[in-house]
Amino acid sequence: MSKECDTYWTQTETYESLRIYFKMNFDGLTNVIIRLLSGLKNKITIRNFPNDMISLESCDDILTLLVHLGYLSYDSETREVSIPNKEILYEFRAAIEKRGWSGVINAVSASYDLL
């Protein structure tokens, strides 16, 4: 009625859960998250995923979990993940701001005008 669109994202998990996964920083997860926030894709291996939310042991495990939770999209042809839309990008931003990465967020935002 107001002819305005707003976010439709209804979190599958809270940003607090994202923060927990980000803190693990397996295999340079922090750098991968920065790449994803910049609009880039990241290649992953999904074969070794333990299929639970407890036995995570690698960056690929966490990224695969984020695909399952709906926070990342997965391209099966290129075997890459990416942040699928702005609504989810905002969720990543909220999680990372709480982690104290505001400088990184500002740099990514200025460089890529995504946020």
Average pLDDT over residues 29-49: 90
Q: Residue ranges of the domains in the chain?
A: 15-112
Bigger pLDDT: 12 vs 87: 87
* Residues 90/7, Cβ–Cβ less than 8 Å: yes
pLDDT at position 115 is 45
57 CB-near residues (< 8 Å, 6+ apart): 26, 50
pLDDT at position 33 is 87
Q: For residue 50, count other CB atoms closer than 10 A to its CB.
A: 13
pLDDT at position 12 over 80: no
C-alpha to C-alpha distance for 57 and 27, rounded to whole angstroms: 9
pTM for the predicted model, two decimal places:
0.74
Which residue, chain included where needed, has tokens 């990372």? 96
* Residues 42/81, Cβ–Cβ less than 8 Å: yes
Average the pLDDT over each of 34-38, 60-64, 111-115 and give the range with the smallest value.
Answer: 111-115
pLDDT at position 82 over 90: yes
| pLDDT band at residue 100 under the 50/70/90 scheme | low
pLDDT at position 66 over 60: yes
